[in-house]
């Protein structure tokens, strides 16, 4: 008799534990993020049911990954900017300027490594300019980056004479269409960038300070944080990441195009 009573109690305890586990998972992920995951799962199920013979093939999944790699890198950096309470509308123009700079650097140096470093440096310099205008100039981030977007786009057109610059270096082109262990290089770069940013925001003091600045910059400053330095650093990081995305775009298209990246500011 005691054994029969214990079974319903144990079953109820298991159900309660399952509910608590689910509730804890939702709280950890976040209600809004959990809703997005549900919506994404529904979309995958719909498209997968429409073309089950193609959609879940590894080739198709890799193609989707390559298509979103550049946008994913931009969105990762933009997320940190938004968390800090800012906004960077100029990332698309920085991508275009970086592609042109990388294309010119490949022709000047003949070294893919130096060209990549130059493109990232161009993006970082653009980020520093944004950060200084916003913090030292005390201009709203939307207005400041909207203005610099036009400036960076204009610079890209001036140094390229309004024309695309072809890249013929096979080592550099490998970044855009090559694979390592069967995985496209662009997807590998995306995974590495996301992992670095995840560790930065979740497990470092710097990440927690960025959350604090985004929550209340006044309290963060009173707590001893150098809010201005953090903000300049965040925009510099955003610009450098846009330069990295420009490198991937230049490698995929085989050229530096001043108009490239024009949609990145909206989608990211």
Q: Most confidently modeled of 57-71, 74-88, 247-261?
A: 74-88
127-163 pLDDT tens trace: 999 999 999 989 999 999 999 999 999 999 999 888 8
Length, in residues, of the chain: 268
Within 10 angstroms of residue 31's Cβ, the number of other Cβ atoms is 9
Assess contact for 84 and 109: CB atoms under 8 A.
no
> C-alpha 225: how far from its chain's center?
25
> Which residues pair with residue 179 across a beta bridge?
184
CA distances from 221 to 108, 209, 227 (A): 45, 10, 6
SS3 of 118, please? helix
Torsion 92-95-101-107 (CA) sign: negative
Please state, in angstroms and rounded to a whole number, the distance separating the CA atoms of residues 42 and 167: 41
Considering the entire predicted model, what is its pTM?
0.82
Position 32 pLDDT exceeds 70: no
What pLDDT is stored for residue 4 in this prediction? 46
180-231 pLDDT tens trace: 888 889 999 999 999 999 999 989 999 999 999 998 998 999 888 999 999 9
Question: Where do the structural domains in the chain lie, given as residue ranges?
Answer: 1-56, 57-267
SS3 of 166, please? strand
103-135 pLDDT tens trace: 999 988 888 999 999 999 999 999 999 999 999
Please state, in angstroms and rounded to a whole number, the distance separating the CA atoms of residues 175 and 135: 36
């Amino acid at each position: 008799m005691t054994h029969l009573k214990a079974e319903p109690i144990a079953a109820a305890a298991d159900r309660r534990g399952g509910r608590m586990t689910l509730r804890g998972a939702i709280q950890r992920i976040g209600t809004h993020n959990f809703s997005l995951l549900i919506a994404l799962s529904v979309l995958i199920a719909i498209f997968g049911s429409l073309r089950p013979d193609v959609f879940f093939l590894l080739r198709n999944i890799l193609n989707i990954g390559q298509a979103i790699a550049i946008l994913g890198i931009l969105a990762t950096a933009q997320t940190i900017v938004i968390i800090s309470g800012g906004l960077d509308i100029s990332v698309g123009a920085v991508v275009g300027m970086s592609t042109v700079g990388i294309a010119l650097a490949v022709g000047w140096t003949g070294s893919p490594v130096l060209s990549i470093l130059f493109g990232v440096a161009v993006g970082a310099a653009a980020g520093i300019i944004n950060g200084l205008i916003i913090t030292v100039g005390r201009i709203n981030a939307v207005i400041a980056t909207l203005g610099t977007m036009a400036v960076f786009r204009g610079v890209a057109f001036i140094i390229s004479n309004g024309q695309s610059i072809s890249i013929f270096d096979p080592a550099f082109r490998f970044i855009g269409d090559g694979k390592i262990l069967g995985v496209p290089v662009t997807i590998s770069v995306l995974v590495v960038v996301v992992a670095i940013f995840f560790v930065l925001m979740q497990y470092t003091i710097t990440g927690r300070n960025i959350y604090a600045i985004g929550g209340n910059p006044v309290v963060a400053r009173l707590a001893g944080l150098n809010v201005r330095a953090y903000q300049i650093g965040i925009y510099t990081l955003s610009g450098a990441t846009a330069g990295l995305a420009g490198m991937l775009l230049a490698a995929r298209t085989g050229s530096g195009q001043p108009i490239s990246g024009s949609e990145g500011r909206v989608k990211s």
